[in-house]
């Protein structure tokens, strides 16, 4: 590919904390989180405009002019990834007085925030302040029949899968949330399967990275829908 001298971004790995905000801000897909650090993986996709720079809370991104691959506009971003999509717009949710549907009395939803997926969750939102955070593995709401009543009520919820998702990204995202907000407590709900223990390790590393000491309660849910174990963990022991 042809080379040209042009402006391009530069990332200081020492300053980068892996929060991932620059990756979300790069509409061309030139950046990725690798090994807990933001990396410029496609020089030809970097347009040199610097949308990512203003999103970096650590000041780790700057401009430089050097010989690089000529800019090649990537394929259009799919509609579902559009930053304006309702799936990624933070909003508080008002719990309805009564549930919906069914033949008998329906249980009302206890959801208080949107989005719930940790990858889409904003680092800062009003509903985090002085909140009790419920961090749950993706399978928990399906396995535990009274999830809304027993686990979600009164809490802000974020969900993730430690087996299928990017753990390093989640460490950085949670560290950003912990550092930027006053979280009162964390309830971590995981499934009994061994791979789900990775979620506990992610929380422990994120707390250490953010320098926060937030009380953590860990609940292990059985595949048959019961609570198999309930224990408290210190910030230092959350990753155990």
Task: Give 92-106 pLDDT, tens digit per residue.
Answer: 766 555 544 456 677
Domain boundary among 74, 93, 128: 74
pTM, full prediction: 0.61
Structural domain including 198 reads 109-233
Task: Answer yes or no: do 119 and 178 share one domain.
Answer: yes
SS3 letters for 148-214?
Answer: HHHHHCCCEEEEECCCCCCHHHHHHHHHHHHHHCCEEEEEEEEECCHHHHHHHHHHHHHHHHHCCCC
Task: Give 106-130 pLDDT, tens digit per residue.
Answer: 788 999 999 999 988 888 899 999 9
Domain boundary among 74, 96, 120: 74
- Give a yes or no: residue 67 inside a domain: yes
Q: For the chain, how many structural domains are there in total? A: 2
- Give a yes or no: residue 86 inside a domain: no
Please report, for the domain that includes residue 142, its CATH number. 3.40.50
> CA–CA separation, 57 vs 16, rounded Å?
9
Helix (H) or strand (E) holding 23: helix 21-25
- Give a yes or no: residue 189 inside a domain: yes
Task: Answer yes or no: do 135 and 61 share one domain.
Answer: no
Task: Answer yes or no: do 137 and 209 share one domain.
Answer: yes
């Amino acid at each position: 590919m042809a080379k040209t001298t042009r402006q391009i971004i530069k990332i200081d790995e020492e300053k980068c904390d892996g929060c991932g905000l620059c990756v979300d801000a790069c509409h061309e897909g030139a950046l990725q989180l690798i090994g807990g650090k933001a990396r410029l993986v496609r020089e030809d996709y970097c347009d040199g405009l610097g949308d990512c720079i203003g999103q970096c809370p650590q000041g780790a991104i700057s401009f430089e002019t050097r010989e690089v691959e000529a800019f090649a506009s990537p394929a259009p971003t799919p509609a579902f990834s559009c930053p304006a999509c309702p799936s990624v717009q933070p909003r508080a949710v008002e719990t309805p007085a009564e549930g919906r549907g069914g033949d008998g009395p329906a249980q009302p939803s206890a959801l208080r925030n949107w989005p719930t997926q940790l990858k889409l969750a904003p680092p800062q939102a009003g509903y985090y302040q002085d909140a009790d955070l419920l961090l749950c593995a993706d399978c928990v709401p399906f396995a535990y029949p009274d999830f809304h009543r027993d686990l979600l009520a009164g809490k802000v919820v974020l969900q993730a899968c430690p087996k299928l998702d990017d753990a390093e990204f989640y460490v950085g995202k949670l560290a950003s949330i912990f550092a930027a907000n006053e979280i009162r407590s964390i309830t971590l709900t995981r499934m009994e399967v061994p791979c789900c223990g990775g979620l506990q390790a992610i929380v422990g590393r994120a707390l250490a990275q953010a320098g926060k000491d937030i009380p953590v309660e860990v609940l292990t849910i059985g595949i048959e829908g019961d609570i198999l174990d309930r224990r408290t963990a210190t910030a230092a022991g959350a990753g155990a």
